[in-house]
């Protein structure tokens, strides 16, 4: 029996072949190009959330890390990444980071049919790390979220902290309910 680890290269080749023959350059949200949006952070989308469908992360982020409920950040869509199998997600710049954080574009990303995706270097005081940010939404702008219903938009965030942060080199992840509005 082959181990999962030995199948990883084969899985990568299969996905690359799928993308080589079937990736779409059609944007997931074609009318978003050139527009700026404010993403307002809501609650963590876990099993105790007001919004059904959340899940418990295996490595939960501290609640005061970078995305705090009520805080926000701004993005500008400057193009689309066609690496996804069904539609091209938005890519661009973070024009305003969350309170007291500095976010800087780190590298290109390969996205998965999202509204927006970014790979960022993050810094606040002595704490620094890497943020993988994916914004998933059904519609843009989304309007207000309604407790008791599945979120219309959420942020899937992974934070890998440096040794100077409270987590001392740990990686954490969270799904966070969000509202998106066009600026």
Which tokens in the block code for residue 152? 């219309």
Measure Cα distances from 32 to 59, 76, 77, 101, 176 in Å: 32, 9, 6, 25, 22
Structural domain that includes position 31: 24-182
Residue 17 domain-assigned? no
- Asked if the model's pLDDT at residue 23 lies above 70, the reply is no
Which tokens in the block code for residue 100? 């007291």
Q: What is the spatial distance between Cα 173 and Cα 42, in angstroms, rounded to a whole number?
A: 15
Query: What is the rounded average pLDDT of the residues 169-176?
Result: 84
Residue 18 domain-assigned? no
- Asked if the model's pLDDT at residue 164 lies above 70, the reply is no
Number of domains in the chain: 1
Which tokens in the block code for residue 116? 């927006």
Residue 107 domain-assigned? yes
Residue 28 domain-assigned? yes
Kind plus residue range of the DSSP H or E element containing 92: strand 89-96
Q: What is the pLDDT of residues 49-101, one digit of tens each?
A: 999 999 888 787 776 677 888 999 999 988 777 665 666 667 788 999 998 88
Collapsing DSSP states into helix, strand and coil, what is residue 2? coil
Flag the least confident range among 105-114, 116-125, 142-151: 105-114
With CA atoms as reference, report the closest residue to 54 among 143, 161, 176, 159.
176
Residue 6 confidence (pLDDT): 37
Residue 12 confidence (pLDDT): 36
Residue 67 domain-assigned? yes
Q: Look over the chain and give the mean of its residue pLDDT values, rounded to a whole number.
A: 77
Q: What is the spatial distance between Cα 175 and Cα 67, in angstroms, rounded to a whole number?
A: 11
C-beta separation of 39 from 73 below 8 A: yes
Residue 19 domain-assigned? no
Residue 20 confidence (pLDDT): 47
Select, from the ranges 10-14, 28-32, 144-148, 167-171, the one with the highest average predicted confidence (pLDDT): 144-148
Residue 73 domain-assigned? yes
With CA atoms as reference, report the closest residue to 62 among 180, 168, 179, 177.
168
Our separate counts of H helices and E strands in the chain read: 1, 8
Residue 8 domain-assigned? no
């Amino acid at each position: 029996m082959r181990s999962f680890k030995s199948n990883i290269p084969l899985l990568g080749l299969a996905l690359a072949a799928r993308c080589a023959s079937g990736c779409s350059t059609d944007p997931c949200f074609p009318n978003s190009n050139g527009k700026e949006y404010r993403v307002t952070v809501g609650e963590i989308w876990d099993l105790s959330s007001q919004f059904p469908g959340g899940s418990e992360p295996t490595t939960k982020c501290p609640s005061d890390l970078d995305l705090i409920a009520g805080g926000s950040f701004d993005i500008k869509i400057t193009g689309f990444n066609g690496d996804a199998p069904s539609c091209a997600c938005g890519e661009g710049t973070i024009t305003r980071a969350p309170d007291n954080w500095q976010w800087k574009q780190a590298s290109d990303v390969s996205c998965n049919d999202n509204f927006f995706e970014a790979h960022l270097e993050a810094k606040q005081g002595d704490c620094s790390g890497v943020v993988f940010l994916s914004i998933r939404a059904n519609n843009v702008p989304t309007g207000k979220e309604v407790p008791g219903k599945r979120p219309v938009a959420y942020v899937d965030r992974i934070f890998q902290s440096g040794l100077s942060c409270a987590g001392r080199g740990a990686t954490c992840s969270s799904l966070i309910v969000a509202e998106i509005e066009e600026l």
